[in-house]
Amino acid sequence: MKKSSPFPISNTESAIAINNVVKQYDNFKLDHISFQVPRGTIMGFVGENGAGKTTTIKAILDLIAIDEGEIFLLGSNAGNLSKEKKASIGVVLDGSNLHDNLNIKNINLIMKQIYPNWEEGTFFSYIRKFHLPEKKIVKEFSRGMKMKLSIAIALSHQAKLLILDEATSGLDPMVRDEILDIFLEFMQDDEHTILLSSHIISDIEKIADYVTFIHKGNIVFSKNKDDLIYQHGMVRCKKEEVREIDKSYIVGVRENQFAAEVLIQNKDKFQRQYHNFKVERTSIEEIMLFISRGKEGF
């Protein structure tokens, strides 16, 4: 069944537009997913392992053929991108995908031939910034170093759009923080856009403007991060008090022997209606957890 996109902007206005995309596998289906990434924003793409994040990114990058729907990248059909448009997209995949016996200088030489807009100076400045050893080969790099190398490549050809699949996972908090700062630096240009897929919600909470939540191949929500946090709240009460709350407010309930935690939506309206309940601020992680578990039943 077709689902409408939550964003009222056109396919050409947004950096990425996904409309009713279906991809069927034997044991998994991307089920009519739609969302848009507005230009000049960071979209956090979250979901549990196996939810469909990487499949969606592969569909965006035309690495898999979709069964239904359409995808637009920087205003053009994703399946028919010109080399010029492809050159303005930086991609970091979950893994380095570079040959083990290449070194930094080799990689620079290769990329210089592949990207017409390759900036050697920028590349080496990132290499120095990330403290990557110029003489070592990729095989000798740690996972963090490989990720930094991929990010350095993605940022060295005047990319307008960065598509990052689990670029921060498997890295220690210090390195993650360093990389997130680089992404924020990249966003200083209003024309720049990032789609960042991750299952590390704290990273998304730190830098994203919008959050798209995918669960079992379905888009659960695609919203402005601040609105999400503002519209939801956590009510901690006695188990029997849950019955007093109108079901339309309840997103999910977590109960223990005596007490209950209730994630509510329409926080403002709820607070006007129920003065006896204290509503606490919640997080994207809790919202995601309650929604996904709520869907399966507590």
- Which residues are near other proteins by CB under 8 A? 58, 61-65, 83-84, 86-87, 89, 91, 93, 95-102, 106, 109-116, 163
Residue among 55 and 168 whose Cβ is closer to other proteins: 55
DSSP string covering 169-199, please? TTS-HHHHHHHHHHHHHHTTSTT-EEEEEES
* Shortest CB 273 distance to other proteins, Å: 50
* Shortest CB 254 distance to other proteins, Å: 39
* Shortest CB 55 distance to other proteins, Å: 10
37-46 b/e (C-beta count within 10 Å ≥ 16 → b): bbbebbbbbb
Return d(Cα 62, Cα 135) in angstroms, integer.
Answer: 34
Residue among 3 and 143 whose Cβ is closer to other proteins: 143
* Shortest CB 289 distance to other proteins, Å: 31
Total length of the chain? 298
Residue among 62 and 205 whose Cβ is closer to other proteins: 62
Spell out where 158-284 has E strands: 161-165, 193-198, 210-215, 218-224, 233-238, 250-255, 259-264, 279-280
* Shortest CB 61 distance to other proteins, Å: 5
Residue among 95 and 173 whose Cβ is closer to other proteins: 95
**Kindly report the CA angle at 130 between 126 and 136, in degrees rounded to 5?**
100
Residue among 50 and 116 whose Cβ is closer to other proteins: 116
Q: How far is CA 51 from the centre of its chain?
A: 12
Residue among 106 and 122 whose Cβ is closer to other proteins: 106
* Shortest CB 58 distance to other proteins, Å: 7
Residue among 104 and 220 whose Cβ is closer to other proteins: 104
Return d(Cα 184, Cα 201) in angstroms, integer.
Answer: 17
Amino acid at 67: D
* Shortest CB 97 distance to other proteins, Å: 3
Q: 36 Cβ partners below 8 Å, 6+ apart?
A: 5, 7, 9, 11, 14, 16, 17, 18, 222
